[in-house]
Amino acid sequence: MTATNAGSRIVDGATRLYCIIGDPVAQTGSPRVFSERFRAAGRNAILVPFHVPDAAFEPTLRGIMALANLDGIIATVPYKARILQFADRILPTAQKVGAANALRREPDGQWTGDMFDGRGMVRAITATAGAVAGRNVMLIGAGGAGSAIACALADAGVGSITICEVDARKARMLAARLGVIAPSCALRIGPATTDGINLLVNASPVGMSPQDGLPAPLGELPPNVVVADVVLADETPLLRHARACGCATVRGREMMMSQVDEMLAFFGMASA
């Protein structure tokens, strides 16, 4: 094929692929954001959405990871923990969290996994509400994203974390991880409350579906509570409620955008 300038190209036979896997996947902003960054850098690469059905996760991952022009994978709900089994090497943050949201293919063909959600969310919260050190955190959801955020908040010196998670085993596993990495952070497992809390993070998928309500019965929120939501939507019932209560809010998109540079560096692209 003849060469054209990068600006007019969508994709050609030599385009390198990255994908985001999720179920669902239509809500993700990564395809547009990363593809535009690749294009702006003159790199013939694109990030496409792969809707991987939950029931076919393992064979589908084996299939797509065999594609010789696939260089990287971003994982979103519900695959951040399950994708770890496909990583040959797991970098320290992902190891600490027990989940990954990015895998890259190394020159030797092996796959390396890392986790960027935690630092991404801490950066996004800090940009909106200042340093998180000393804050008392209510965390709803202890899956891959929740674990990553809890570990990053603990690393950043929050005073306490209360974990609300319907799966008691997940809650205990996260508490055990946090107990090791941040022994001075007070930990509780229990129902969602705003008593004594000044940072509330929804890391559950509640809010993704248009039928969803709040992720927990929260009542009136004190206006000093900063409310962050991992859900990728311009608006969620939680964020609407929080703003009505006068709280500062952080959207999932801000968490996502604040990790783009780190992920691009992980994927081998020098920062802009």
- Looking at the annotation, which residues are catalytic? 80
Applying CB under 8 A, which part among 1-9, 100-108, 111-119, 183-191 lies near its own copies?
Answer: 1-9
* H or E element in which residue 64 lies: helix 57-65
- Between CA 229 and CA 27 the distance in angstroms is 14
* H or E element in which residue 139 lies: strand 136-140
At position 93, the amino acid (one-letter code) is: T
Q: Work out how close the CB of 69 gets to its own copies at its nearest, in angstroms, rounded to a whole number.
A: 4
- Cα distances from 178 to residues 22, 88, 184, 186, 265, in angstroms, run 27, 25, 10, 9, 27
Site for its own copies in 153-182 (CB under 8 A): none
Asked if 88 is part of the footprint of its own copies (rule: CB under 8 A), the reply reads: no
Asked if 9 is part of the footprint of its own copies (rule: CB under 8 A), the reply reads: yes
E strand segments, 119-158: 136-140
Task: Write out the two tokens for 38.
Answer: 């690749």
Task: Write out the two tokens for 253.
Answer: 């998109």
Asked if 43 is part of the footprint of its own copies (rule: CB under 8 A), the reply reads: no
Which residue number, 52 or 100, has a Cβ lying nearer to its own copies?
Answer: 52
Is the distance from CB of 158 to CB of 132 less than 8 angstroms? yes
Query: Which listed residue (3, 5, 7, 10) binds its own copies by CB under 8 A?
Result: 10
Query: Which listed residue (6, 41, 43, 49) binds its own copies by CB under 8 A?
Result: 49
Asked if 17 is part of the footprint of its own copies (rule: CB under 8 A), the reply reads: yes
Task: Write out the two tokens for 42.
Answer: 């003159």
- Between CA 28 and CA 1 the distance in angstroms is 32
Asked if 13 is part of the footprint of its own copies (rule: CB under 8 A), the reply reads: yes
Asked if 68 is part of the footprint of its own copies (rule: CB under 8 A), the reply reads: yes
- Please report, as ranges, the residues that interact with its own copies according to CB under 8 A: 1-2, 9-15, 17, 20, 23, 25-32, 35-36, 39, 46-53, 56, 59-64, 66-69, 234
